[in-house]
Structure 1
Amino acid sequence: MNIFPKYHRLFSSDDAILLPNFSEICSIYDFYETLIDNWDKIIRKPLTSPHLSTISYILMSYSDYERLKELFDLFSSLEVASNYIKLLANQGKKDEIEKILNSYSRLKEPIECWLDLIGWGIYHFSQMQQKSKIYEFLKQFEEGFQELSKLMEKTDLSFIHLQAFKLFIEGCSLYHMQEYTKSVKLVKKAVHLLTKNDIKDNFLLGSIYNLLAINYRFSGRGPEKEMLYKARDTFNEEKMDRGVAIAKGNLAYLLIREGKFEEAMTLLLEFDEIMRKYSEIRNLILNYSDIYYCLKSLGKMDEAERNLEIAMQLMEEYNSPNEDIYIDATEFYALKGEIEKAEFFLNKYIQFLDVEEKGETVKNATTLIYQGFIDFRKKNFYDAEVKLKKGLSIARKQNVIPLVLQALIYLIELNISKYKIEASSFVKEEIIEEIELLSQETIVILKSHDNIFQMINYQQLLASAYILSNKVSLAISLLEEAEKISLEHNMIGHVEKIKELIGLAKSVNNYMNEAKIQIHRELEKDLQTYSTKAVRELTIIRDQEEAPTPLSLLVIQESGLPCFSYNFKDKSFTTDELLLSGLINAIQKFGSEISWKKGKFRLMAHSDYILLIDPHEKFSIALFVEGYDSSFREKMSEFAKYVKPLIDKLDSQKYLDGETYTDLDFNLKGIVERIFITGN
């Protein structure tokens, strides 16, 4: 724990003996340079606890491993150890960390938690996924803070700085618990304390801006890019090249999400250079995973493989296994058809995380999904489909969106491959319908999580499937929307392909059968490229506190008229009769080109909402939602069980009056509230 306000206020004038030009110090970088210039003299002085705390913090801020090690060897105090351990963690030196922690047995667990929370080096895998550990850490941290604060004046800058630091740590804790909005509120208070009191600790401030950006990323709302630029500039102001590199690494992630792989590579290579300079093994390994992804997406498979191999060499050399690399390697070698290698790395993943054979956990879902992908590449389609669907089911129940997305993508690829080899036209129609269903859900998820680049890819895929099944107007409508979005986001590379597909869709009805067959062959070839990409999607996760919420629900009879509506908010868009009429027409138009089949969910992505449709023999349920949550599907299925007997009762009556519909409304309202609101 460090106290570092305005430096000339922290030290007395007597400290000119310690730092000869102390009166000229006005920034952290000046302080660091003064330390370096006077290092041999300083380490021979009788340093006090505040000195050790501040000096070790400055050295840690600049990743000055050699001097911090020397300081620790001379003064093995907790103040120095807490900062020294962070650099050791970054470098993957676990044995040295264990040795230090064992000498502080009473504080071992809090320090381990600290390392995980701060995010500068994950010391134990997934420990912080356990909320109980985070709460225990926060309790101990609070007790320590209260003891320390008794020794300080509440108006003292050191105390205010400590308060800001405490808020940052609590913000890190909330981030790890996926409570992103609460985390943002706390760390914004920390920024306010630092700036209001002119405490210019750019290391802490830059770290806070990075944390804000990551919170915005995972919550799906907030100026992520702006915060990363602030972090970069804040670190750059004090010439903290490591901090600048971290911000650039996060900016590279944004570029990857936008499909700008070459631009991302430039930043990732800069990141690589700095991490090598400071021997930060963990960050180097993670960076190779991102470089691999970019190279694979650019079709540079040999280079992608080399980066995977470098990452694995580092993992082996420093005994620093990483589950992302194991999964990357599993997918890559399955994609290349080197099945034994793929299975080897999946087993490494299973052993590393100690995945059990039973249970519906995220680890098991991941294992099933990648086992399914390996079976798919073996052309063992039946086993692949079983495993992928089981993994998808678990991922939906756990509401782990990236895993849901991955399973959907592999199932799409699997069905494309099945379509290519299938001889029966009837079976082909069924496969195309399955591709449509999977693509619709994929697009909705990508849209909900603001992954525009990949969303447009799958809009093109879905449009191709529509053309193959002669749903031409749907294809054209979808492609025109994709073209508009591509132009809005300056994704010019997409536009040419979209225009080509629009031309195909508009001309398909004008050709004779022979020409149609040729068009279908071209589209099948285009669809097959999705199987050869096997892109591992990058997306963001919606804030659990602001989870996707339902807006309105309609029950629509076979005639097309709604017999029941429910607004989840006080004022809903379905109260507007004109808009409601338009929505029903849209649902009917959508249904006129797509055969309704029991249990076949349909999804439509609108600019303001997402529409889920559950069609049944005599009625359909339409749910309008903000955002996407897999649990909506299960809730709609449960609701349908209660709707069916009531609709059957309506159909059996010769005469329907107002009282009949009043009873229906009363019965269904209670069921909606129980299933969608109270969950009882």
Structure 2
Amino acid sequence: MSDSRPKELLRVEQLINEVKFEEALKIIENFEIKEPLTSEDQLSMLLLKGRIYGYNNQFEDAVTIGEQAYLMSQKLELVSESIEALFLKSRIMFVGRIDKALGFILEAEKKINSLADKSSSDILRQQVMFLALKSWGYWVKGEIELALKTAKQTLSQQENIDNKIDIANNYLLMGEIYSYLRELDTALDYATKSLDIAEELEFQPVIGTSSMLISRLYVSKSNYNQALDFCKKSLSIKEISSWDKVRNLNLLGEIYYFKSEFDRSLQYYNQAIALAEEENIYEQLALNLYHVGYIYRLQGEYDRAIETSESGLTLAEKIGYQYVAGGSLESLILICLDKGSIEQAKQYLTRLEKLSEQAQQKVITDWYSLSKAMILKMDGRTRNRAEAEVMLRKIIDDTALHSEYRQFALINLCDLYLEDLYLSKNLEILEDINPLLTETSMIAEQHHSYLWVAMTKFLQAKLALIQMKMDEAKHLLTEAQNIAESHSLDLLAIKISSEHDALLTQVDDWENLRKKGAPIGERLGLVSLEETIDVMLRKRGIQPPELTDEVPVLLLIIAEGGIPAFSYPFSEEWSIDDGFISNFLTAFNTFSEEVFSKGLDRAKFGEYTLVMDSFGSFSVCYLFKGQSYLAKQNLLQFAHRVQNTTSIWQNVNNFHKTHQPIVLSENPPLESLITEIFIKESPEISTLL
């Protein structure tokens, strides 16, 4: 485009580079009614307007303008302008017409190569834009290696052109590609760079899309609270497209699915379905129907699960969305197996086999292999179960397979062996199971799948119990709960904590079993393996007990050497009789070292439960009656607040100088903190999630 253009259009171009789109469109609107306009000026105006629409993710409008501008540029024999028009037309890739878009991009490349003078700034910009659109085209088409190679070329060329908008978009693409390649840290780095530039420019559409990508990456890293923050930030951007709104709602559904909060997950998936229907975004409609059907299955609503999954399957087949068609068929097979309808499951398997042959997509082939193994496993005949074992081992050994499918195969194989354990009562079978769980945990850690890591340790704890390894079981339960809590898997953390509490009340029972050499069948009766396995096999969701507030008994801050720096008895009997506290301190000095050295977080002290934490050179101990989960949260909150409240922390640290116990009446902030955390009612569970 020539710089002899009217000053209004030059100003528009400047405003576009400054991401002042509304102001630019206002000038264009006024310019359109200006008389007279040359054909060249009309064309320039159209191209600038189309560029704004493209940057604003208004792809259909950009394509429409591109078609008009292309006809005008051809008529006027303006090659540079026709290249710009082809760039606008190529935005059709973002509304599902990728092959047509790549044709426009290749046509633009030919025109660029036909230009005699390639040194002008406009032509250099077009060369970079060509590379950028080509890399996006490869990405949308699924040619990942070519997309990455071209995106890197684009990035190196963009250094010569000061266009931060396009740099932000290219960083976004690099983030998407590395996310697909599971190089999560690299992906997060590029996505963050994109967001930083977009925020500097106040470039709202890319703020929205970059935030959504960052959210997805945090989901992949099992950082669900951060994922929620960025997803909600993306949704707050009014300029994001309807497509991205649906994707964000889908992402919120996915986050709450991983957190096992299925009602919330359904809420967002159903919102995504409603918006996708309204905007005719059929790919997302099919995808969200598939997800909703899956959750209905986990909730045990099999009829609704089948109905919804069938709807998603029908739509996916109609629009040629093979991924969702395959996923829906796999889901329907699992539902039928849960219902015991093996023959119906086989019918769906036949359809999945045909789709696998047609699609030639590895993920669909993997679904078929897993589904076939599941059906064989459900068959009671020895030959079929043996074939299922062979198939599952083949899936496990396929390192190119997605980690989730390998983990699913590992747990199914564990389930086969556990069935043998229940039938044979032969403990040697655990020698086959334990390595499988170790491999499951290793794969899960490598791929940041901390739900699987926590669940695997939870199952390992129960198997340790069967082997009478009490300390190992308690240590694994503590590890599992800590992992769940650190990744905001609240329902799982509550479930594990309740099982740990139950174990502490059964210690004497287990000790009696050990002394009398109880048979394996009697031990299996005390361990709820089936429920844990079913959650890992995706047959049900996590069902934690209802939380109740603990009854506070005693709060202690203990210095090195077991010397009490502060004590606060909540119970009158403890405050009246100092012997209770003295006896407790004597016992504490005996078992605290053991508890901490074994990495445990709680212990029984008669009828009471003790949870502990440490800060600085002090230990803080909380004795109570009741459930440990909220008690532990209260203790952790107390320890954190003590350290971060200057007046309280100074008084605690002064103990090293004065060796005088802290007197509550002389420390009103500490008294207020204890009242706030321990004496008032604990929060409802809904406020914790």
Query: What's the TM-score bracket when you normalise by the shorter of the two chains?
Result: 0.5 to 0.7
Q: Report deviation, 1:383.
A: 0.6
Residue among 51, 58, 61 paired with 2:53: 58
**Mapped pair 1:168 → 2:177:** no
Q: Deviations over 1:446-482 (max 9, x none)?
A: 4555544444443333333233333333323323444
Query: 1:339 & 1:280 partners in 2: Cα distance?
Result: 30
**Mapped pair 1:403 → 2:411:** no
Shift in CA distance, 438/371, structure 1 to aligned 2, threshold 3 Å: same
**What corresponds to 1:48 in structure 2?**
43
SS in 2 for 1:344: helix
Query: 1:116 & 1:537 partners in 2: Cα distance?
Result: 44
Residue among 65, 71, 76 paired with 2:65: 71
**Mapped pair 1:534 → 2:540:** no
Listed as ranges, the matches of 1:217-232 within 5 Å are 217-218=219-220, 223-232=226-235
Q: Report deviation, 1:232.
A: 2.9
Q: Report deviation, 1:308.
A: 1.6
Query: 1:262 & 1:454 partners in 2: Cα distance?
Result: 21
**Mapped pair 1:269 → 2:239:** no
Query: 2:413 & 2:217 partners in 1: Cα distance?
Result: 31
Quick one: which amino acid aligns to residue 212 of structure 2?
N
Query: 1:39 & 1:410 partners in 2: Cα distance?
Result: 67
**What corresponds to 1:249 in structure 2?**
250
Q: Report deviation, 1:269.
A: 1.9
Query: 1:513 & 1:418 partners in 2: Cα distance?
Result: 21
**What corresponds to 2:310 in structure 1?**
309
**What corresponds to 1:388 in structure 2?**
392
Listed as ranges, the matches of 1:584-623 within 5 Å are none
Quick one: which amino acid aligns to residue 345 of structure 2?
I
Residue among 344, 350, 353 paired with 2:356: 350
Bigger Rg over Cα: 2
SS in 1 for 2:283: helix
Larger CA deviation: 341-350 vs 500-509: 500-509
**Mapped pair 1:137 → 2:150:** yes
RMSD: 4.9
Residue among 143, 153, 157 paired with 1:127: 143
Quick one: which amino acid aligns to residue 211 of structure 2?
Y
Shift in CA distance, 262/448, structure 1 to aligned 2, threshold 3 Å: farther
Q: Is the 8 A contact 2:90 2:104 kept in 1?
A: no
Shift in CA distance, 477/200, structure 1 to aligned 2, threshold 3 Å: closer
Residue among 499, 502, 506 paired with 1:500: 502
Listed as ranges, the matches of 1:522-561 within 5 Å are 523=527, 526-527=529-530, 530-531=533-534, 534-535=537-538
Quick one: which amino acid aligns to residue 360 of structure 2?
D
Q: Deviations over 1:618-648 (max 9, x none)?
A: xxxxxxxxxxxxxxxxxxxxxxxxxxxxxxx
Query: 1:116 & 1:15 partners in 2: Cα distance?
Result: 27
Aligned residues: 494
**Mapped pair 1:300 → 2:333:** no
Q: Report deviation, 1:264.
A: 1.9
Query: 2:188 & 2:371 partners in 1: Cα distance?
Result: 35
Query: 1:331 & 1:374 partners in 2: Cα distance?
Result: 9
Query: 1:36 & 1:324 partners in 2: Cα distance?
Result: 48
Query: 2:485 & 2:221 partners in 1: Cα distance?
Result: 26
Q: Deviations over 1:280-333 (max 9, x none)?
A: 222222223332333222222222222221211111221222143344344444
Q: Is the 8 A contact 1:326 1:346 kept in 2?
A: yes
SS in 2 for 1:228: helix
**What corresponds to 2:683 in structure 1?**
none
Shift in CA distance, 170/523, structure 1 to aligned 2, threshold 3 Å: closer
Listed as ranges, the matches of 1:649-664 within 5 Å are none
Query: 2:130 & 2:19 partners in 1: Cα distance?
Result: 34
Query: 1:354 & 1:113 partners in 2: Cα distance?
Result: 29
Shift in CA distance, 271/51, structure 1 to aligned 2, threshold 3 Å: same
Query: 1:219 & 1:483 partners in 2: Cα distance?
Result: 18
**What corresponds to 1:208 in structure 2?**
210
**What corresponds to 2:570 in structure 1?**
none
Quick one: which amino acid aligns to residue 167 of structure 1?
Y
Quick one: which amino acid aligns to residue 228 of structure 1?
C
Q: Report deviation, 1:406.
A: 1.8
Q: Is the 8 A contact 1:376 1:414 kept in 2?
A: yes
**What corresponds to 1:621 in structure 2?**
none
Q: Is the 8 A contact 2:352 2:368 kept in 1?
A: yes
Shift in CA distance, 70/364, structure 1 to aligned 2, threshold 3 Å: closer
**What corresponds to 2:327 in structure 1?**
324
**What corresponds to 1:339 in structure 2?**
345
Query: 2:270 & 2:109 partners in 1: Cα distance?
Result: 36
Q: Is the 8 A contact 1:62 1:242 kept in 2?
A: no
Q: Deviations over 1:115-135 (max 9, x none)?
A: 89659x9754x432xx2x235
TM-score normalized with structure 2 length: 0.59
Query: 1:261 & 1:252 partners in 2: Cα distance?
Result: 8
Gaps of 5+ in 1: 1-10, 356-360, 539-581, 588-680
Larger CA deviation: 25-34 vs 133-142: 25-34
SS in 1 for 2:322: coil
**What corresponds to 2:660 in structure 1?**
none
Query: 1:518 & 1:326 partners in 2: Cα distance?
Result: 40
**Identical positions, percent:** 15
